[in-house]
Chains A and B, each alone.
Chain A
Amino acid sequence: MKNIKSKLAISIVFLFSSLFFSCQENENPNSISQGEMIVEFDNYVGNQNMVIDEVGSTNYRYSTANGQEFNLTRFGYYISHVRLEGPNGEVFIDEMNASADANQIKGYYRVVQGESDTYNIHLKNIPEGQYNKIIFNLGVKEDGIQEGAVGGILDRAAGAWFWNWNSGFINYIIEGHSPASLRDENRLQIHIGGWKNIPSADENPQRFFDNNVEVSLPFDATVRVSETMRPSPHIIMDLLKVIGDTDLAIQNNIHSPAAAVPFVQKLAEAFVVDHTHQ
């Protein structure tokens, strides 16, 4: 009997303590100061600012290295798994969460040319310290797909770039028109996606391709994050680094992981940190 009573007493203590603690927001347990960073993305085509034209436009603003003209009617990319590193071993890993609830999605970002509110990625809860490098994944990895239906910028019904026939997101999307393309409406569509590798076990070739790309960019200077200092690295992305050498007469209709591989190899080089605002 005594044993039961003591069990009960312990249980009640646990009950109240767990009720008390389990639902509390548990912020800054060690009260380490935290700060923020705003990473700005600025898309270019060579040395020209990137401009999005109406679908059907024949105003060809840009041209490839071999003189094929083109314009853009849609352009953008997903960014995830952002990480910051500092000269003294500082590391910040942006929290990731894929959820049906758009408000619970964490760590996924999408830059959509023409929608200026998407150009700045707002990183929060960064431990105070010095940072001189940003690393991010260009695209959406398996952890954003195999959890099932997700919301917000990953919701196909809300305009997410998602393949319905070969499940996965388009990591990097290029759409426009080029007179070099002999498709209807001189259409140009380069959809870069793919999130898994099935390496060949025998003489067979590889099945699928993981076309996520890790982009690692040193800052031009070390910056300091603190409660009062919110630095802002300015990243420039140049589309010509990706398709500048492409023959748009041939490569104008890319819609699968294997077909995207030649472009993927150039993606990491398209990004550079131009300068950093402390």
Chain B
Amino acid sequence: MKYNLTSRDRLIWPALLFVVIVWVGCVSESDEPKLSLYRFEKPSHFPEPTYTFQNNDVNEKGFKLGKMLFFDPSLSRDGSVSCSSCHVQSHAFADTWLHPFSFGVEDREGVRNSPPLFNLAFQNEFFWDGGVTHLDFAPILAIESEIEMDESFENLVHKLNNHAQYPRLFKEAFGVEEVTGPYVLHAFSQFMLLMVSADSRYDQFVKGDQNALNQEEIEGLLLFRKHCESCHREPLFTDLSYRNNGVQKVITDLGRETITEVSQDRAKFKVPSLRNIEVTSPYMHNARFEGLLQVLNHYTEGIQEQVNIDPLVFEDGKPTIKLSDPEKEKIIAFLKSLTDDNFLNNPIFFNSNE
């Protein structure tokens, strides 16, 4: 069939215009300028995001409202802790080494290490056990957990409605007369969705800058791809699966089994991303290791036979990963090239609350 460019061409502009007008006229009434600073943009080398942006697109007012909530300790039952208490930007929104486990109201100690927060738009399941299946729902668990903020989500929304500023800010961001649960969660998500970490020296390297990594780091990358890649898959540095890598000497935390209710998932935890790993010590859900060398030593020598131990790291009665000391140094050098200083220092995330 012959392709008739001109007749088709004639139809394209009115058709496009039609689509744009319908879209602008009925879907979005946004009158604010589209500042790229507050828009979600998929890094070119990343997969498509999975977040439901069609229900909650990021904009400046929603983002800033989410930030205000994130830093606000009055959300917790006694006003003592905020999200930012355990999620610190300079640590890629993980906790500092001072708190190996999350901490909550009345200095209650949690049971797992606070995970870092970034690249959440690309994940389908949240927390170490993956029980939360949508980013919007993640804050509810931290808010209502007795060992974290210990506040009912219902009462939190009640407090926001009686606050001097929040009702006006919700109206400006979402056009609502009353603060309700979904808009609180949408604001949180907007703040977290822009936590995209994709600008480390490794990223510069894979995007074509051959000088972004030095020789040792490049050798580390090759070793990483040989020994670690099957679980910590690029570019997110996780395959988003759940595995038991043997970090519990005695299994006290059932991990993924709590959610799926099958013993085959006992002691499995989500494979964490390794981006910004340099600043997220201590490591593992139980904060067992303070240093990266300890982690690598665990994989080469530390793992013991255990129920559901992952065959990729332990088989035939011994650890599968074999690394010499110089190889470990190279891998660690490479892992440090995953630190994204622009993300860790991005001023849009700075606390601007009073």
Residues of A within 8 A of B (CB): 3, 6-7, 10-11, 13-15, 18-19, 22-23, 99-102, 145-151, 155-160, 162, 164-168, 198, 204-208, 256-259
Contact = CB atoms under 8 A, between A and B. Distances in A.
A145 B55 CA distance: 12
Contacts of B176: 101
Contacts of B135: 148
Interface stretch (B89-97, B183-191, B223-231, B280-288): B183-191
A200 to B, nearest CB: 9
A100 B25 contact: no
A256 B259 CA distance: 8
B264 interface: yes
A100 B182 CA distance: 5
Given A7-B13, A146-B133, A164-B137, A207 B260 contact: yes
Contact of A15 (B17, B26, B56, B156): B17
A22 B21 contact: yes
Contact of B182 (A149, A166, A167): A149
B55 A167 contact: no
Given A22-B22, A155-B180, A167-B137, 18 more contacts: A7-B13, A11-B13, A11-B14, A100-B186, A101-B176, A147-B52, A148-B52, A148-B185, A149-B186, A151-B181, A157-B181, A164-B132, A164-B140, A204-B262, A206-B262, A207-B262, A208-B260, A259-B261
A148 B148 CA distance: 23
Contact of B25 (A23, A162, A204): A23
Contacts of A259: 261
Nearest to A21: B22
Given A147-B52, A156-B181, A157-B153, A7 B134 contact: no
B17 A11 contact: yes
Contact of B55 (A18, A99, A156, A157): A99
A241 to B, nearest CB: 25
B150 to A, nearest CB: 13
A262 to B, nearest CB: 14
Given A100-B186, A155-B181, A207-B261, A18 B22 contact: yes
B310 interface: no
Interface of B: 10, 13-15, 17-18, 21-22, 25-26, 51-52, 55-56, 131-137, 140-141, 144, 153-154, 156-157, 174, 176, 180-186, 189, 258-262, 264-265
A211 to B, nearest CB: 12
A22 B10 contact: no
Nearest to B187: A149
B55 A147 contact: yes
10 contacts: A14-B14, A148-B136, A149-B185, A156-B140, A156-B181, A157-B157, A165-B131, A166-B258, A207-B262, A258-B261
Contacts of A206: 262
Contacts of A258: 261
Contacts of A155: 180-182
Contacts of A22: 21-22, 25-26
A249 B115 CA distance: 39
Contacts of A168: 133
A11 B13 CA distance: 7
A257 B265 CA distance: 16
A145 B262 CA distance: 23
